[in-house]
Homo-oligomer: A and B are copies of this chain.
Amino acid sequence: MNLKQLSQLLELSQTTISRALNGYPEVSEQTRLKVVEAARKHGYNPNSNARKLATGRAGSIGYVLPVGKNVDLDPHFVEFLSGLGEHALSREVDLSLTPAPFERETEAYRRIATSRSVDGVYLSSMRNDEQRIALVRGLGLPFLAHGRALAPSEGYACVDIDNEGAFYAATQLLLQLGHRRLAYINGDIDFTFAVHRLNGVRRALKDFGLPPESLQHHSAAMNEDNGYRLAMTLFRDTDASERPTAVLSASMFSTLGIVRALNQLGLRMPDDVSIITHDDVFPFLKPESFSVPLTTTRSSIRAAGARICERLVDIITGVETEPVQEIWPVELIVRGTTGPVPAERKRMRGRTTEAAE
């Protein structure tokens, strides 16, 4: 059933049907009701491709999905997607994923833009040598970034969390607890979020008057394996005198591995080692669920997804005109894995045990 057939059936013009269905005022309430009813009854839905062609609007937002043997679509993405989807629903937009290997990414964006298959795109996993902002802008494709680029640092719309502030606060807490030898098991430093976080940690150290050497920094993809491996390097393969007394971790997945290493080495949290992790809020992996509840910096990546969908639609429809950079504050939630530095432990044992309980 298409528009023409329906119009013949109702003995009305296609124009009227179209207007009735799309809520234009030029049609009487009476006919509208009749039309809507008939459409429902005969299961008429406008052909989406015809409509897209006629209006020039695609009704969907796009994302170039990195694929390839070495690219793991990680759980962060799906959680983000989940939020996006939740909001997409209420705005009646679809998500269109265009798979592309990393090296052909540019081509993919170009094709998306010239073929008008989506109304706008969101960019995520911003890298240090970010090229996409200039690219999609040049292509005239509306966009919204999840995260920020190093350069240009402004002039484009984005939603990001205050990574630097979060890790500044986390580091500060550890320093206040007396820790002086820290380690940071960071994510891949090619991504800007990792740079921002590292900046936060370093700034906190500096403000506290500690030398850069007080921090051991390791960067690797955020997963269990790397967490384990790096923790082993820190605590098994390092001289006792140089071992950190506290570890910052960029993700719950890394922390899974760190905790395994500590267990294996017989080190206890927080008595021997304090840990602070960034928590993106995964419903299937909660900081409260660890053997010792994790102290975390927390920001829901799912909420970011929802917000990004909302704003991207606003940008596409012209509601939002100026490129605003929206930076979300991050909570620091103290649970059981942070305690005083070991040297001070004895005179505070009562308190520590209680906190770790």
The 8 Å CB contact of A72, one of B82, B94, B96, B289, is B82
Q: Say yes or no: B53 contacts A49, CB within 8 Å.
A: yes
Q: How far is it, in angstroms, between the C-alpha of A329 and the C-alpha of B336 when the chains are bound?
A: 44
A40 to chain B, nearest CB (A): 11
Tell me if A31 is interfacial: C-beta within 8 Å of chain B: no
B residues in contact with A157, CB < 8 Å: none
Q: Say yes or no: A283 contacts B114, CB within 8 Å.
A: no
Q: How far is it, in angstroms, between the C-alpha of A101 and the C-alpha of B82 when the chains are bound?
A: 12
Q: Say yes or no: B67 contacts A73, CB within 8 Å.
A: no
Q: Say yes or no: B89 contacts A44, CB within 8 Å.
A: no
Q: Say yes or no: B117 contacts A97, CB within 8 Å.
A: no
Q: Say yes or no: A284 contacts B224, CB within 8 Å.
A: yes
Among A7-15, A166-174, A192-200, A256-264, the one that faces the other chain is A256-264
Q: Say yes or no: A67 contacts B46, CB within 8 Å.
A: no
Q: How far is it, in angstroms, between the C-alpha of A332 and the C-alpha of B58 when the chains are bound?
A: 47
B residues in contact with A79, CB < 8 Å: 73
The 8 Å CB contact of A289, one of B78, B257, B289, is B257
Chain A residues numbered 183-226 whose CB sits less than 8 Å from any CB in chain B: 222-225
Tell me if A330 is interfacial: C-beta within 8 Å of chain B: no
Q: Say yes or no: B86 contacts A68, CB within 8 Å.
A: yes
The 8 Å CB contact of A290, one of B72, B117, B260, is B260
Q: How far is it, in angstroms, between the C-alpha of A85 and the C-alpha of B100 when the chains are bound?
A: 8
Q: Say yes or no: A47 contacts B116, CB within 8 Å.
A: yes
Tell me if A236 is interfacial: C-beta within 8 Å of chain B: no
The 8 Å CB contact of A75, one of B78, B99, B117, is B78
User: Which among A228, A257, A289 has the highest number of chain B CB atoms within 10 Å?
Assistant: A289
Q: Say yes or no: A225 contacts B289, CB within 8 Å.
A: yes
The 8 Å CB contact of A263, one of B65, B228, B263, B284, is B263
B residues in contact with A101, CB < 8 Å: 89
| Chain A interfacial residues counted at CB < 8 A | 61
Tell me if A346 is interfacial: C-beta within 8 Å of chain B: no
Tell me if A300 is interfacial: C-beta within 8 Å of chain B: no
Tell me if A328 is interfacial: C-beta within 8 Å of chain B: no
B residues in contact with A256, CB < 8 Å: 256, 285
Q: Mark A85-98, 1 if CB is under 8 A from B, else 0.
A: 11011000011111
Tell me if A74 is interfacial: C-beta within 8 Å of chain B: yes
B residues in contact with A115, CB < 8 Å: 45-48
Q: How far is it, in angstroms, between the C-alpha of A101 and the C-alpha of B85 when the chains are bound?
A: 10
Chain A residues numbered 53-71 whose CB sits less than 8 Å from any CB in chain B: 53, 58, 60, 65, 67-68
Closest 8 CB pairs of A and B: A78-B78, A85-B99, A45-B114, A48-B115, A223-B284, A73-B82, A49-B52, A89-B99
Given A75-B75, A77-B78, A223-B285, 10 other A-B residues pairs in contact with their CB atoms under 8 A = A45-B111, A50-B53, A52-B52, A53-B53, A60-B96, A72-B82, A85-B99, A95-B99, A224-B285, A257-B289
What are 10 pairs between A and B in contact, CB < 8 Å? A49-B52, A65-B81, A81-B97, A89-B100, A94-B98, A95-B99, A222-B284, A223-B283, A224-B289, A263-B291
